[in-house]
A and B are shown apart, each in its own frame.
Chain A
Amino acid sequence: MKSIVLCLTFFFQLAYAHLNFTSGLTLNYGSGSTYLSENDSDHSKELFDFSQVLYDVNFYSGKWSLNSKIEFSNPPEIGANFKGLKRFLIKYNNQKNQFSFGDIYESWAKGLALNQYDDISLGFDNGIQGAAIALNNDVTSIKLLLGNKKIRKFKSSENFSRIPTDISYHSLIATYYKKKFLNFDLGFTSLINKEKFAINSFSDDSSYATHNIQSIFGNYISDKLELSFEFAQKYTSLQPALLDIYFDIETFTSDTLVRENNFGRGFALSSNYSLGNFHFSFDYSLYAFFVSDPLTQTLEPYPERVSQFQKPMVVSQEHSSQLLGRLNYQQNKNDEVGFNFNVNYSLGDNSSIAFNSSSTSRTKEWFRAKDSSSIISGPWEVQKKNYFFPSNDPSSTPYNQNTMMFESFLKNGYLKIILSDIEKINYVFENDRSLFGDTKRYEIEKALTIPISFQYNIYEDYNLILDLSYQNIKKGVQTNSFEISEFISYYENDKGGVEKSQNTFALSLGFSKSSKLSFQINIEKDDYFEVGTIRNNIFMNPLEKFLEPILKEYDKTWVSSKITYRFDDNYLLSIFYGSNKGGISCANGICRYYPGFSDGFRIQLTKSFY
């Protein structure tokens, strides 16, 4: 230890005169209470607290740099506790070649083979600890990457958990080659990822999966047209193999399936084309890395699925507005076929109008056979393969979204209006065929959403900000059996009666003084309750008490306020107080559930030193 201290002291004393330094501090703190009962005296509430300090420290000296992140979190909002050096990277970089040692993140082509990132807000990190070398000249680029990583992720059954409990250990070696021909690039990647994973949650038994992935990719760029694609294939072998035992309770027989390997393929393409004031884009994906029936999709562990380093391109359009963001498509990296088409028309320099259509589904439709003598349906079987285009059959859990958008930068403000129509099947419970007819039962969700965003410069530095959203959702279980069609809605009124749909209104009204201060008050109101969810605003917080005269049915209303203050250009403080509905929040193709709370606050402070 003493020798390390002496060496480091010597090194840094030597380097003082040549080192440049920057750093950045982020502090996240929050506390919230979710009340489970209307009777305050029984103290049936759940606390949702988090505290996280992130400190980025960066040093530069000539062609060398050292970047590090220190984290103290206990706990973070989402993710595992951590105290210490979270990440570091030493890098040598000249214009042609780079050498890196430490925590490395690479994103190649369309992510079908390799896409690494650290998303603190989602508690996900698939960067490797190792070394990378990149050699470039004007026409070719070669990269080599190797290292290890312990990856935490949420199990598919853990949607409501804050801490990812599924841990796997990975070693990775990957190569990349790209050559440039005029306007066209062509390249290859190869990746071997060995993964050690737990066979089950009740023992220490583990097994190994080896993912062998190769891909070919290309890009074409011209003034009007851009086109890029990637095709990847993956071979996964398990050592030792896994055994699945199936028991048939009707015949009292069992069957054993040995899982030793899996082969899958994926293809992604994106293109855009400009023609005068029109702009068109088309994205397409066909991911068949691990195609499985609706039951197998929910089972763990299945290391035959995509490697933790494969994070392929997202096809569907994503939204960031409050109500629409909750309905963003949840990508299936293993089994998906989909496309997105967008046309945009520019109305001068300041305005545009756009239409977008997204459609995705699983690559196969599934059914179960049921003969006249049996009560229980048989195993899932393939009904139809959707080779190139998404299906609308409920058994392939389709997602369809059509959006119209108008955006204009006004002389003294900004206006954006979106009209979105979404229809999706979340789960398929039954798709049974028998001599008497077919039975289909599935969870369906249809939503019409209109978010409007408006901003106006009132006087000199003072601005008004108004975000207004309306959403109508129908969500429930649809059953089509023989000649009967029945829809059971998830929404109910105060008296327990079933309601066909839910209306939600969200209002955010704010004022800002340029570059210094902004204040906003947010109100979100539902008509009814969703069955099975926590009625999480039964406690009236002081802010809601203050607004009580104008708010009715406070248990279906969430009120919050947020102040952002900029002490100087790089010192930002924001404080949130009130109640929060929570729900799904999606970004970058990944969705997480954030719990709502009745009474809570969040503080975020960011400060840069340079």
Chain B
Amino acid sequence: MFFRKFTIIFFLFLQPIVYSDNGNVQYPNIYFDFFNGERKSIGDLTNNGPLVLQFWAIWCSPCKKEMFYLNKIRKKYKNSGVEIICVNTDNSRLISKAKSFIKQKKYGFLVASDPNSELFKRLSASVMPTTLIFDKNNEIVFKKEGFMPGDEKIIEQKLKTLIEGS
């Protein structure tokens, strides 16, 4: 009985997917809690240009490799309005190690905390790292799961296209 109810409700939920014509999805309602205690909305970060968002955790080696390259991209494009934010998903058990890692690497990008993986789930991320690019309208224009050597070039290429198009 429960399964039948669930199936009906599920297909009702599917209706908006079938009928609505959203194109890319706008996210006006995302807030980031930074390691330094500040809070900003996604709109605050996309004011001047595209935003690269990466989900990472302290136990994830590919995430940390990607962060090194994201920092290089930030240095290269910071004057073009590009913002980079790395969202840490470690909960209370390991977050102190994540904070220490960021300080020792002296990375210049923004680092936010998502200890309950709420944002991670909201953006339908399932693997670590997941990297997204938002344009000035807060729309997702790129999403990549995992990190392979060379991915940093793809991210840079997408950013170039966005900067040149704006």
State in angstroms the CA–CA spacing of A243 and B11 once bound together. 52
Q: Is the CB of A26 within 8 A of B126?
A: yes
Q: Quick one: which of A12, A16, A22, A272 contacts B25, CB cutoff 8 A?
A: A22
Which residues of the partner chain B approach A374 to less than 8 Å between Cβ atoms? none
Are B16 and A12 touching (Cβ within 8 A)?
yes
| Count, chain B residues at interface, CB 8 A | 68
- Among A84, A283, A317, A516, residue most surrounded by chain B Cβ atoms (within 10 Å): A84
Asked whether A3 is an interface residue with its Cβ less than 8 Å from the other chain, the reply is no
Which residue on B lies nearest to A227, using beta carbons?
Answer: B96
Residues of B within 8 A of A272 (CB): 96, 99-100, 103-104
Q: Is the CB of A21 within 8 A of B146?
A: no
C-alpha spacing A274/B105, complex, angstroms = 10
Decide: B150 and A610 in contact? CB cutoff 8 A. no
Q: Which of A20, A107, A274, A352 contacts B115 (CB 8 A)?
A: A107
Residues of B within 8 A of A83 (CB): 3
What CA separation (Å) do A314 and B57 show in the bound complex?
Answer: 14
Give which listed residue, A1, A24, A226, A414, contacts B126 with CB less than 8 A. A24
Is the CB–CB distance between B96 and A570 below 8 Å? no
By a CB distance below 8 angstroms, the chain A residues around B60 are: 320
Contact with A along B38-81 (1 / 0, CB 8 A): 01010000000000000000111100010010000000000000
Known: A17-B20, A515-B150. Is A610-B127 also a contact (CB below 8 A)? Answer: no
Residue of A nearest to B124 (CB): A24
Residues of A near B9 (CB, < 8 A) are: 4, 8
Report chain A residues within 8 Å CB of B121: 56, 58, 67, 69
* Cross-chain contact of A312 among B2, B24, B93 (Cβ < 8 A): B93
Question: Is the beta-carbon distance between A569 and B59 smaller than 8 angstroms?
Answer: no
Residues 590-610 of A contacting B (Cβ, < 8 Å): 606, 608-610
- A115 within 8 Å of B by Cβ? yes
The number of residues on chain A lying at the interface, defined by a beta carbon within 8 Å of a beta carbon of chain B, is: 96
Q: Which of A273-291 contact B (CB under 8 A)?
A: 274, 279, 281, 283
Most interface-central of B37, B127, B148 (chain A CB within 10 A)? B148
Partner of B143, one of A68, A118, A317, A610: A610
Q: Please indicate the chain A residues that have their CB under 8 angstroms from the CB of B103 in the complex.
A: 226, 272, 274, 279
- Interface residues in A309-329 by Cβ distance below 8 A to B read 311-314, 317-318, 320
Considering the complex, give the chain B residue whose CB is closest to the CB of A570: B143
A180 on interface, CB distance cutoff 8 Å = yes
Q: Mark A81-113, 1 if CB is under 8 A from B, else 0.
A: 001110000000101000000000111111100
Known contacts A16-B15, A226-B99, A515-B148; 16 further A-B pairs (Cβ under 8 A):
A20-B25, A24-B126, A56-B124, A62-B28, A68-B13, A95-B39, A110-B92, A111-B92, A180-B37, A279-B100, A281-B96, A283-B97, A457-B150, A518-B148, A588-B59, A608-B143
What are 26 pairs between A and B in contact, CB < 8 Å?
A12-B15, A20-B27, A21-B17, A59-B13, A60-B29, A67-B121, A69-B121, A110-B92, A111-B92, A185-B37, A221-B36, A274-B103, A281-B97, A313-B93, A318-B94, A320-B59, A409-B68, A455-B149, A465-B149, A514-B149, A514-B150, A514-B153, A515-B148, A515-B154, A608-B126, A610-B24
Q: A residues near B, CB below 8 A?
A: 1, 4-5, 8-9, 12-13, 15-17, 19-24, 26, 54, 56-60, 62-63, 65, 67-70, 83-85, 93, 95, 105-111, 115-118, 180, 185, 219, 221, 226, 228, 270, 272, 274, 279, 281, 283, 311-314, 317-318, 320, 342, 344, 346, 352, 354, 409, 414, 453, 455, 457, 461, 463, 465, 512-516, 518, 564, 566, 569-570, 572, 587-589, 606, 608-610
